[in-house]
């Protein structure tokens, strides 16, 4: 019985140490989540303004032609997937990667029909183990990434679409709903068909003069806008990651508390049984001497 009590006590101490670690992770993730939400909010005005200008140019330029504004028959698709570098975030990466696998399986017959760009070590390891056609990758991003960190892969993905290497660019990432809810979403980033000639857009009501020409300005702004949307999705994904990790660590802390409570009860019962047995032995010994 004494050995069993020592084992129980050892397990209690182990779960108490684990609880301290998960609680610390939860608090750190909560602080990072607040900063990530602020970063998401701060990037929205820029994306909104550049969209307004693009909508104005596209609406005010008759017969404008640009590959990023034109839909074409989809023979090949590019996917840009945003995952995390670290785990301990519940189903954050697993749910998104399952969405990607299902999408690819439903839409394509062979690997020649699509290519994949991936941000995040978890997604990269998953896709390379299964021999998916990954042609661009970024890993090791900080918890507060800058646009320069993903500029190269964003430019590559957008540029290959403009060069007609594929006919659409699809973005997959986790949308931040609230700190405990993140939803994998699939967004068709290119072509930007919702911008061209949109009569009711607020941007179309503003008059601009362009130098050298509206077409050249549009050709410069469209890739920037698409890259900005990719960066915005990355910030959204980072907020989702911190929320998912905070929620997962909170659940782990609660589970550790429940296990500690159950083991403590088990330990007290074992201790009580040991004391009762010792008392019985003492009483039995005293009775034998009479």
CATH number at residue 166: 3.40.1380.10
In a domain, 194, yes or no: yes
What is the Cα–Cα distance from 176 to 240, expressed in whole angstroms? Answer: 5
Residue 5 inside a domain? The answer is: no
65-83: burial string, b at 16+ Cβ within 10 Å, e else: ebebbeeeeeeebbbbbbb
Note whether residue 152 is domain-resident.
Answer: yes
What are the tens digits of pLDDT across the range 203-243?
445 566 767 777 777 778 888 888 989 999 999 999 999 99
- Average pLDDT along the chain: 85
Which residue would you say has higher pLDDT here, 135 or 6?
135
Tell which residue, 255, 174, 209, 191, has the closest CA to residue 60: 209
Residue 252 domain-assigned? no
- Predicted TM-score (pTM) of the model is 0.82
Tell me if 286 is assigned to some domain: no
What's the pLDDT tens digit per position in 44-85?
787 777 777 777 776 655 556 677 878 889 999 999 999 999
Residue 144 lies in a domain: yes
Q: Which domain holds residue 141?
A: 27-247
**pLDDT digits over 16-44, tens only?**
999 999 999 999 999 999 888 888 888 77
Number of domains making up the chain: 1
Judge whether 276 lies within some domain.
no
Asked if the structure places residue 41 within a domain, the reply is: yes
Is the previous residue joined to 218 through a cis bond, with omega within 30 degrees of 0?
no
């Amino acid at each position: 019985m004494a050995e069993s009590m020592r084992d129980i006590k050892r397990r209690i101490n182990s779960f108490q140490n684990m609880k301290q670690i998960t609680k610390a992770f939860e608090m750190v993730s909560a602080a990072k989540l607040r900063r990530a939400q602020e970063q998401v909010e701060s990037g929205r005005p820029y994306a909104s303004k550049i969209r307004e200008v693009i909508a104005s140019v596209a609406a005010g330029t008759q017969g404008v032609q640009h590959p990023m504004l034109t839909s074409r028959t989809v023979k090949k698709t590019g996917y840009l997937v945003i995952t995390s570098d670290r785990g301990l975030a519940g189903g954050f990466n697993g749910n998104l990667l399952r969405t990607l696998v299902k999408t690819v399986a439903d839409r394509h017959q062979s690997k020649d029909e699509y290519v994949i760009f991936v941000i995040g070590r978890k997604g990269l390891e998953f896709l390379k183990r299964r021999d998916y056609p990954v042609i661009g990758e970024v890993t090791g991003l900080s918890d507060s990434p800058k646009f320069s960190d993903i500029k190269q892969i964003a430019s590559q993905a957008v540029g290959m679409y403009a060069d007609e290497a594929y006919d659409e660019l699809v973005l997959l990432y986790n949308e931040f709903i609230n700190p405990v809810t993140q939803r994998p979403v699939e967004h068709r980033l290119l072509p930007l068909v919702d911008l061209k000639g949109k009569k009711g857009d607020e941007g179309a009501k503003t008059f601009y003069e362009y130098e050298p020409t509206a077409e050249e300005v549009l050709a410069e702004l469209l890739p920037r806008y698409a890259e900005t949307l990719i960066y915005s999705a990355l910030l959204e994904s980072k907020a989702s990651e911190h929320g998912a990790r905070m929620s997962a660590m909170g659940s782990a802390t609660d589970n550790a508390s429940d296990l500690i409570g159950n083991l403590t009860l088990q330990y007290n019962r074992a201790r009580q049984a040991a004391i009762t047995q010792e008392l019985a032995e003492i009483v039995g010994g005293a009775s034998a001497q009479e």
